[in-house]
Each structure stands twice: as C-alpha cells, then as structure tokens.
Amino acid sequence: MAVLEREEELALLDAAAAAAARAEGSVALIEGPAGIGKTALLRAARAAARERGLTVLGGVASALDRDFPFGLVHQLLDPLLAAAGPDRRARLLAGAAAQAEPVLRPQGAFCTASTG
C-alpha cells in the first residue's frame, strides 16, 4: 500500500519490524491530529510486518473499555490464545507472561453479557 509522503515514518516502522523479527523489542508511537493519515500509516506498517512473517495484533481502545479491566489486552491476546493449542498457549504464557494468565480467559472459556 502506498502512503504518500511517509517514507521516513515507514522506514522507521520497518526498522522496528526488522528488530522485532530479531527478537529485539521496541515501541513506536504514532500520533497526530485527525485526518493526517495515522490509520493509513498503521495499515502499511502492519502489512509490511506480516510480509516479514511477524504476527500482528491489533485493538481499538474506546471509552467503553475504561470500565473493563485489561480490555485492550483482551482484544490483543484473546484471539491469539484461542487459536493456540495447549502446547503453544503454554509457551506463549511462559516466563514473565505467566503473570498475565489470571486476567486472560482460560482456553475454551465462554463469556456472556446481558442488558437490562
């Protein structure tokens, strides 16, 4: 996907993806006023990361998530953990990640909600 006049930003995000592929973590912050092209930049960066064979997770924070503990964490990790078999789930939740297991839905769990 072509993103006009964002070559520098795309290069920085591609470098971050390359570092992630080498198991060297980093964080990128994309901010700016509405309509400046943040979403298009993110889409291009996600596509480039997937082309590298990286797993790309995504979520959208909203005002509704404020009352739901770890709502964004659930958006990011629940699909990944649900698709993982028991062995992969154990590997994903090993080490420091084991601290997150109590707040993540157990494999096969079903949640319901009701209104009024």
| 56 located within any domain | no
- Ramachandran region of residue 106, left (φ > 0), alpha (ψ -120 to 50) or beta? beta
Would the pLDDT of 114 be above 60? no
Shared domain for 19 and 42, answered yes or no, is yes
Domain that holds residue 89: 63-103
Shared domain for 47 and 11, answered yes or no, is yes
Pairwise CA distance, residues 36 & 38, whole Å: 6
Q: What is the pLDDT of residue 43?
A: 92
| 15 located within any domain | yes
Reduced to 3 states (helix: H, G, I; strand: E, B; else coil), residue 75 is: helix
Neighbours of 70 (CB within 10 A): 13
Residue 56 near residue 46, CB atoms below 8 Å: yes
Would the pLDDT of 15 be above 80? yes
Q: Identify the DSSP state of 104.
A: S
| pTM metric for this prediction | 0.67
Burial of 17 (0-12, 13-18, 19+ CB in 10 A): buried
What would the mean pLDDT of 96-111 be, rounded to a whole number?
Answer: 71
Pairwise CA distance, residues 76 & 41, whole Å: 19
Would the pLDDT of 116 be above 70? no
Q: What tens digit of pLDDT does each residue of 55-64 get?
A: 888 888 888 7
Q: What tens digit of pLDDT does each residue of 1-14 get?
A: 567 788 899 999 99
* Closest among 32, 28, 70 to 49, alpha carbons compared: 28
Mean pLDDT across the chain, nearest whole number?
83
Would the pLDDT of 24 be above 80? yes
| 115 located within any domain | no
Shared domain for 43 and 72, answered yes or no, is no
| 91 located within any domain | yes
